[in-house]
Structure 1
Amino acid sequence: MATDKAPPVLDFSAFHGDDKQARDKLIADINAACRDKGFFQLTNTSVPVSLQNDILAASKAFFDLPLEEKMTCDLRKNKYHRGYEQLGAQMLEPGTAPDKKEAVYFGEDLPADHPRVVAGDYNCGPNLYPEALGQPFRDTCTNYYKAALALAQDVMAALALGLGLEPTWFDDFVRVDPSATLRLVHYPPTPVLAPNERGVGAHRDFGCVTLLLQDSVGGLQVQDERTGNWLDVTPVPGAFVVNLGNAMMRWTNHQFTSNTHRVMNCSPHDRYSVPFFFNGNAKHILDTIPGCESRPDTSDRAYGPPLNEATYRPIVLRDFLFEQFTESYARVQKVA
């Protein structure tokens, strides 16, 4: 099995093309990447490069605002976890300093009186936008969210094919009230990092699939968990870094993996990235996907399932996500 190799860069155009051989090879390559490190890059996706450039420009415009303007969107002042998060608010790697990043969170923009919001559905609520950036900023965020959601749904269909399932197997999960978070992230220049400092500490993502758009600065690293080595995920113009989260690893009973990664912005430049965290229907019960009942040997991994369980016990996705999310913020409180 591949090891100490950076995640592959794959051309996604074959997914919607007429060349069956090219499509089958793409699915096989994605499937192999999901079983190795759970990371790969996709070029030629359905998200226009012009929209990718627009969202990166919108991100820079937001973080260039004065702090008092950004704080008008303070996420601590609403119960929907939407809005601005100050530098150092989260700690994803235990034992390190708080992460050296600031971020702003968006989701599906639902009004406070929407039935799903009133019912308290997971991650539902209105977005917060800075007045200073006006309607163009809102439109860019909305358009990008929709485009990223459509790509995430395509990626899930590709994963289904790799597992030997019909491409529509995940449809109810990905198309009925899907939960996702769009986050704009800014890493200030940090040419010299102290030993315990990270842009983002080593962690695994929580949900199903993450689509990451990164600028040209670099700094993202994925760990080869068999050797412990850190591998650079070099930015590719127009490409999305795709990685699986803990929910997908659990759902596939570790046939697919969620891998440790971090950001080390050892650069004199600002770094901007745009992760889209796709969770799916948060009310869904994660049980073992058919065909994944046999657990692979994970003894050579840094992270594995409970050894006394043949498969995981079923769990509601929203409960699984909430546990992980709460823990990452509680760490900051312990060191504050």
Structure 2
Amino acid sequence: MSTTRTSVPVLDLSTARTADGAFTADFIAALRDAAHNVGFFQVTNYGAAAGQVQELLDTVAGFFRLPLDQRLELDNRTSAQFRGYTRLGKEITRGRADSREQIDFGPDREPLANVPAGRPFLRLQGRNQWPAGYPQLERVAMRWAALMSRIGADLLAGICVGLGLPQDYFAEPFEGTPAWMGKLVHYVGGLVPEAGNQGVGSHADYGFVTLLLQDMVGGLEVQPHGQHEWISVEPIPGALVVNLGEMLEVATNGYLMATIHRVTAPPAGVDRYSVPFFWSPRLDAVIGTVPLPAELAAEARGVSDDPDNPMLSSYGANVLKGWVRAHPETARIHYPGLAS
């Protein structure tokens, strides 16, 4: 990078398209700059209904106030899909416990009856776990997922245009059964001694486009490619924080980067809530290298592979690798051949 970034860009999604539906040149230019040079940006005016954001955050907070025994009825150790409730401090990032508890959910589908040998990632298709005594959680979370699916697809279309590709270039890997993922996360400080101040450790995301709703507590930091300094992502009420995943880094040979980010745990006694959503393709999708225009290909930085965590072009294999590392207890139960 030629200059050090000290903040992430903010894009107004209401300016993305003209009256006839075409993307505006100014929006595409801003999107390409943010995606290439930072890998993170915030989006406003994306079409949430009045009161939808606050209802979601309030409902998520209400779940985590339920007694622990009720939360544990959704224990993710019972799920081969890593769905349901993860206990405080039991998700691992870079070998260290995170100061968070959460619910993971995705498209609610029947598990596959027959999974071919060598494709264990297909077992990630399955059912969600929701609290029977708190039905509003499923309602508001799945309504949010429907909105995020539309926004994720729209932003991915804009990214394609910014890369000189047809806006539907990546449409096929998402057709039929996209394997999006959602999380409802509660960060706490001071209750997981082995975590220290790690809310979630530094990492990159697995898929294509991540859309994060965060409350006003703060703590998210990002580190753009080639930059030693971390950028604090200051909360904007109701805005979405957007970042790109490893599939886009692999597909563009590093022109787009899966930017490293982390969350600092809040102070003791302070609750932080966030709702990340990962717009991701079918589990069987394999993503090849895209044909970038020469001027963009010249700026591609190569894939930033970590020898201990290689990026894979198979989405399902890439995401299963991540789940196994992050949830070792669940992995040992359901994927003993993959667990360490």
Q: Counterpart in 1 of 2:152?
A: 152
Match of 1:101 in 2: 100
Please identify, of 66-75 and 313-322, the stretch whose mean Cα deviation from structure 2 is larger.
313-322
Letter in structure 2 aligned against 1:33: A
Other structure's SS at 2:126 match: coil
- Mark the CA change 1:40 to 1:102 in structure 2 (over 3 Å): closer, same or farther: same
Runs of 4+ residues over 6 Å off in structure 1 = 19-22, 191-195, 331-334
For residues 15 and 50 of structure 1, do their structure 2 counterparts lie closer, same or farther at Cα, with a shift above 3 Å needed? same
Structure 1 residue 286 displacement after superposition: 1.4
Are the equivalent residues in 2 in contact too, given 1:173–1:284 (CA < 8 A)? yes
* Change in CA separation of 1:306 and 1:104 when aligned onto 2, cut-off 3 Å: closer
Q: 1:281 to 1:189 in 2, by over 3 A?
A: same
CA positional deviation for 1:314: 7.8
**1:322 aligned to which of 299, 304, 320:** 320
Residue 243 of structure 1 and its aligned partner are, at CA, apart by 0.3
CA shift, 1:332, in A, is 11
| Match in the other structure for 1:46 | 47
Per-residue CA distance 1:190-233 (angstroms, 9 max, x = gap): 49988953000111111111100000110001124433111110
Q: Does the 8 Å contact 2:244/2:258 carry over to 1?
A: yes
Question: Contact 2:250/2:313 (CA < 8 Å) preserved in 1?
Answer: no
Q: 1:266 to 1:193 in 2, by over 3 A?
A: farther
Instruction: State the partner residue of 2:78.
Output: 77
CA contact (8 A) 1:255 1:292 kept: no
Partner amino acid, structure 2, of 1:328: A
Could you tell me which amino acid in structure 1 is paired with residue 245 of structure 2?
Answer: G
How far does the alpha carbon of each residue in 1:64-91 deviate from its partner, in whole angstroms, 9 at most, with x for none? Answer: 1100000000111122221000011122
- SS of equivalent to 1:184: strand
Question: Matches of 2:90 and 2:152 in 1, distance apart?
Answer: 27
Q: Secondary structure at the match of 1:140?
A: helix
> Which runs of 5 or more residues in structure 1 are unaligned?
none
Structure 1: how far apart are the matches of 2:100 and 2:42? 23
Contact 2:206 2:322 in 1 (8 A): yes
The letter of the residue matching 1:31 is R
Contact 1:163 1:291 in 2 (8 A): yes
Contact 1:91 1:332 in 2 (8 A): no
Structure-2 change in CA distance of 1:72 and 1:305 (3 Å): closer
* 1:17-37 per-position Cα deviation (integer Å, ceiling 9, x unaligned): 429998211111111111112
2:204 counterpart residue number: 204
Which deviates the most, 46-55 or 158-167?
Answer: 46-55
What SS is found at the alignment partner of 2:62? helix
Counterpart CA distance in 1 for 2:53 and 2:66 is 21
Q: List aligned pairs for 1:1-336, cutoff 5 A.
A: 1-18=2-19, 23-94=24-95, 97-111=96-110, 117-120=112-115, 121=122, 123-134=124-135, 136-190=136-190, 196-267=196-267, 268-291=269-292, 294=297, 296=299, 298=301, 304-305=304-305, 315-330=313-328
Letter in 1 for 2:75: D
8 Å contact from structure 2 (residues 43, 239) kept in 1? yes
Identity %: 30
Report how many residues are paired.
Answer: 321
Matched-pair contact (CA < 8 Å) for 2:80–2:123: no
Q: Which amino acid aligns with 1:319?
A: A
SS of 1:133 mapped into structure 2: coil
Q: For the structure 1 residues 322 and 332, does the alpha-carbon distance in structure 2 shift closer, same or farther, using more than 3 Å as the test?
A: closer
1:125-181 superposed Cα distances (whole Å, 9 cap, x missing partner): 1211112212x3221122111111111111110111111111121222233311111
Deviations 1:262-308 (A, max 9, x none): 10134342000000012212211111011278464649xxx72599x
Whole-angstrom CA distance in 1 between matches of 2:94 and 2:330: 10
The answer as to whether partners of 1:122 and 1:282 remain within 8 angstroms in 2 is: no
* 1:79-123 per-position Cα deviation (integer Å, ceiling 9, x unaligned): 2221000011122134xx4100001011112245xxxx3355353
TM-superposed deviation, 1:47: 2.8
Segments of 5+ residues of structure 2 without an aligned counterpart are: 116-121, 333-340
SS in 1 for 2:273: strand
Indicate how the Cα distance of structure 1 residues 129 and 278 shifts in structure 2: closer, same or farther if over 3 A, else same: same
Per-residue CA deviations over 1:242-271 (Å, capped at 9, x if unaligned) read: 000111111111010111111013434200
